[in-house]
Structure 1
Amino acid sequence: MENIYSLKDQTANPGPLGLYGFALTTILLNIHNAGFFPVNSMIMGMGVFFGGGAQFVAGVMEWKKGNNFGSIAFMSYGAFWLSLVFLWLAPILGAEKPDGNAMGCYLGIWGIFTLVNFIQTLKGHTVGKLLFGSLTLLFFLLAAGNFTGSEQILNIAGWVGIVCGSIAFYEASAIMINLRFEKNLLPL
């Protein structure tokens, strides 16, 4: 007998919102890391509102859907963007600016967290493996660049970050396009 009291989830898929928030912000920051322009208000604005805010909202929506991985990933990386912008702005409020060792530790711990997420993607789509694999590499390169003060490592990290953000952009686009056309036009 059918349960007449069950509800059908008709809420939107929050994945593309979170992925686009991650993708666009990551690409822009890593164009900076690749050496094309300095950190400026454009990157900070994207970091707070799209990288931070939109991803955090997507994470809450994933939680509501019961998606543990999506919830933790989006809320955590949303908080990453908010905390990163805070680290850049806190010296204006009188806080000490983090040195290379402090930033290396900050980015390294995010690399370890991302490695744990990467391991979870091994039981999923190829694009998720590519995304979290490249993000893990990105965090460890950024940590190494900050620990050593090497502009060359940071520039390489920038290119890895552009690729990583582009993978996230592709994944978000594939989900949206496949959903709209009701078939898998773009493989995941």
Structure 2
Amino acid sequence: MIPETPVPVKDGIANPAPLGLCAFGLTTVLLNMHNAGMFEMNSMILAMGIFYGGLAQVIAGVIEAKKNNTFGLTAFTSYGFFWLSLVGLIVMPKLGWVAAPPASAMAAFLAIWGVFTFLLFFGTLKLNRALQFVFASLTVLFFLLTAVKITGSESLEHFTGYEGIICGASAIYTGIANVLNEVYGRTVLPIGPVA
């Protein structure tokens, strides 16, 4: 028997934002623990950059496209490829494929990502306070990293590492908040929706 009232149908696609946010956040925290001087650059950071920070974010971005979310598509796919590019910039010279970029080129690379992030920040003004903090702190992080490359200051690099840990932790919080709030059907961890 066919019901007389229409039955609402969901799109059947899970929210990919928590995956993208956690992939970005965990990888950012680990890289910035290195920047803060806690340990040397190693394969753990590079593997996270390829597989979680890189590929998982690209996958999240593609799913956002399926959900018709242009902001999510642009952000997650872009930052996924940022991580893959960063690993390439570190690994390709070690393999002898190309010369290592000079500090000025790395400064330009980081600065353009800072500009891009600042522009995306304006999209978060229509979303929620948690994402606003993630993108604002990421903008600051990129410009601090640019200054590190220009000055070569180890103390500034360590300070920047701690700022990056805060940025990454805020992305993890936002991703987990999305998961728990959905699972429990109520606000477990607030994200500060825009009124």
- Both structures adopt the same fold (TM-score exceeding 0.5): yes
Residue 152 of structure 2 is matched in structure 1 by 149
Unaligned stretches of 5+ residues in structure 1 = none
**Structure 1 residue 93, shift from structure 2 partner:** 3.1
Give distance in 2, aligned partners of 1:7 and 1:106: 44
Residue 172 of structure 2 is matched in structure 1 by 169
Q: Which amino acid aligns with 1:152?
A: S
Q: Which amino acid aligns with 2:179?
A: M
Q: Which amino acid aligns with 1:60?
A: V
TM-score normalised by L of structure 2:
0.92
Q: Which amino acid aligns with 1:137?
A: V
The reply on whether 1:112 has 2:137 as its aligned counterpart is: no
**Structure 1 residue 28, shift from structure 2 partner:** 0.1
Give distance in 2, aligned partners of 1:169 and 1:181: 18
Could you tell me which of 53, 77, 80 is aligned with 2:79?
Answer: 77
SS of the residue corresponding to residue 115 of structure 1 reads: helix
Give distance in 2, aligned partners of 1:97 and 1:122: 38
The reply on whether 1:123 has 2:126 as its aligned counterpart is: yes
Residue 14 of structure 1 is matched in structure 2 by 16
Greater CA drift, 163-172 or 92-101: 92-101
Residue 181 of structure 1 is matched in structure 2 by 184
Q: Which amino acid aligns with 2:134?
A: L
SS of the residue corresponding to residue 75 of structure 1 reads: helix
TM-score normalised by L of structure 1:
0.95
Identity within the alignment, %: 50
Greater CA drift, 119-128 or 60-69: 119-128
Residue 43 of structure 1 is matched in structure 2 by 45
Q: Deviations over 1:96-145 (max 9, x none)?
A: 10111111000000000000011211222110110000000000000110
After superposing on structure 2, the runs of 4+ consecutive aligned residues of structure 1 that deviate more than 4 Å are none
Could you tell me which of 93, 98, 121 is aligned with 1:95?
Answer: 98
Residue 33 of structure 2 is matched in structure 1 by 31
Q: Which amino acid aligns with 2:23?
A: G
Q: Which amino acid aligns with 1:33?
A: N
Give distance in 2, aligned partners of 1:7 and 1:186: 27
Residues 100 and 148 in structure 1, CA contact (< 8 A), matched pair in contact too: no
Unaligned stretches of 5+ residues in structure 2 = none
